[in-house]
Amino acid sequence: MPIEIERKYVLFSDDWRILSHEQVEIQQGYLCNDKYRTVRVRLWGNEGKVTIKGLSVNGARPEYEYDIPKSHAQEMLETLCLPGRVHKIRHLIQFGSLTWEIDEFLDHNKGLILAEIELPSLNTAFTPPTWLGPEVTNDHRFQNSHLSQHTVDTSNLF
């Protein structure tokens, strides 16, 4: 079973911007969105993807992802997905031997910036960059499935 191991943080500084080496626009919606499973449709630049994820426990969960035609992803976003979407710009940053994904949210969550790191195992050690804010890995409000339908206030985190 493929497992995603991810840690997520709110950012409090723009110092990461000079390290960004790649950006891609992402739009995503959900066919299924509950505590135990999500089924996501995503436009990743000019690519389409479908992703199925299971329950997250301490940042680890089953994840299956498949490429689909861009036109299929567009049709599903427009006709099949639940109300609400995530629209963001993803910035990629190489920091040490790991890649950080910085998501700069648009539309109803404009101003929210989250950093994610996918780890090869639960006990992988890493040096946190100085531009990280509080960890929100286990806070459901910062899961993209929640952000698709809600605006999050981060003022109480700092």
| Residue 36 annotated to the active site | no
Q: How many Cα atoms sit within 13 Å of 104 on the Cβ side?
A: 13
- Measured in whole angstroms, the distance separating CA 92 from the mean position of its chain's CA atoms is 12
d(CA 82, CA 25): 20
d(CA 40, CA 82): 10
Which candidate in 9, 30, 36, 64 is catalytic? Answer: 30
d(CA 95, CA 129): 8
**CA nearest to 52, candidates 43, 41, 63, 42:** 63
**CA nearest to 28, candidates 115, 117, 144, 110:** 144
Q: Which residues are catalytic?
A: 30
